[in-house]
Amino acid sequence: MSERGDTLRVGRRAIALSHPDKVYFPGRPSITKRELAEYYAAVAPAMVPYTRNRPAMLHRFPDGIAGEGFYQKEISDWFPDWIARATVPKAGGEVTHVLCNDAATLVYLAGQGCITPHVWLSRVDKPHHPDRLIFDLDPPRGFAQAREGARLVRELLDELELASVLMTTGGRGLHVVVPLDRAADFDTVRAFAREAATLLARRHPKTLTVEARIPKRRGRLFLDTTRNAYAQTGVAPYAVRPHAGAPVATPLAWDELGDRRLASQSYTLRNVLRRLDRADPWREGARRRQSLRAAGRRLDELARSA
């Protein structure tokens, strides 16, 4: 990426940034619009494989995180024609989403105040058939609770002979992600995830719950499977989150879960790029294409014997 004035060149695209020195993340040091755009240009080779051809929902903060933010699904009519997009059905009509298919798109979106792209669990060629199942672990009592929950989720998935990958959310918790072969539709995947979470809550009633009402959770970790539905999204790997310090949703290797220094916001815009010199922790696991058929039968057997 080369720079001239208020323009960033990303590949063959020259992308103008208005007010590039606008502070997006206050603090010492602060982080500007230009720095966010430069980050997305640098991280794109690692990030785009996990966002390509997935409808995106944009979490935009035109005045930085100190200002008002909003979520955007429909692509703005002023976005340039070279940005890939896809029109998908919604209740009562259709919506055209951005596709984060290249570095230039990520940089352009950063210039539009998009701090965080969230992406569908399915791709546009089979929008009703996800290739990811997500267990969202958002702990009420600290990251150690998410760490233990992730370990228990993985143990069950191992019993079901399903490989999984792990990611900090850059918020408070973790995502455990199961790669799928896109044979099952969203209703099937969500039912499977719910049944698995219910079994885990029965096995560990003092620490885990599937209770949707917060007062009834009584401090237990909620096993959230609601993202596993059509048009729902998950934070994109390597996306920046709109919190102080610009934490980043970061793919992890499972053995990193044992590092007591690890927290959900350990990795930020300023330090996560160092990880890109290592092997991609999702390289093998996220490419698996797994069926839920045999796993569903195993899960039913475990549920009956619980």
- pLDDT, mean of each 10-residue run, the chain (306 residues): 70 93 94 97 97 98 97 97 97 96 98 98 98 96 97 98 97 97 98 98 97 94 97 98 98 95 96 92 88 97 91
Closest CA to 103 of 8, 34, 24: 8
Domain 2-120, CATH 3.10.20.340 — does that match? no
DSSP 240: B
C-alpha 204: how far from its chain's center? 26
Has this prediction a pTM greater than 0.75? yes
Tally the residues of the chain: 306
For residue 3, the model assigns a pLDDT of 47
Distance in angstroms (rounded) separating the CA atoms of residues 281 and 283 = 6
CATH superfamily of 132-231+287-305: DNA primase, PRIM domain (3.90.920.10)
Closest CA to 170 of 240, 70, 117: 240
Kindly list the domain boundaries of the chain, sorted by start residue.
Answer: 2-120, 132-231+287-305
Radius of gyration of the chain (CA): 20
For residue 277, the model assigns a pLDDT of 87
For residue 119, the model assigns a pLDDT of 98
Closest CA to 186 of 126, 109, 260: 126
For residue 2, the model assigns a pLDDT of 47
Please, which contacts does 294-297 make with residues 24 or more away whose CB atoms are closer than 8 Å? 294/161, 295/160, 295/161, 295/162, 295/192, 296/192
CB 11 within 8 A of CB 106: no
Check the CA dihedral 110-114-118-124 and report its sign: negative
Q: Strands (DSSP E) along the chain, which ranges? A: 2-4, 7-10, 13-16, 23-25, 31-32, 55-60, 70-72, 85-90, 93-99, 114-120, 132-137, 165-168, 174-179, 208-209, 221-224, 233-235, 250-252
Neighbours of 294 (CB within 10 A): 12
Say whether 132-231+287-305 and 2-120 share the same fold.
Answer: yes
Q: Which residues contact 133 (CB under 8 A, 6 or more apart)?
A: 121, 177, 178, 180, 189, 192, 193, 228
Place of tokens 């997935």: 54
For residue 4, the model assigns a pLDDT of 47
For residue 302, the model assigns a pLDDT of 96
Distance in angstroms (rounded) separating the CA atoms of residues 122 and 222 = 24
Q: Which amino acid is at 290?
A: Q
Q: Tokens standing for 173?
A: 């918790």
CB 17 within 8 A of CB 33: yes
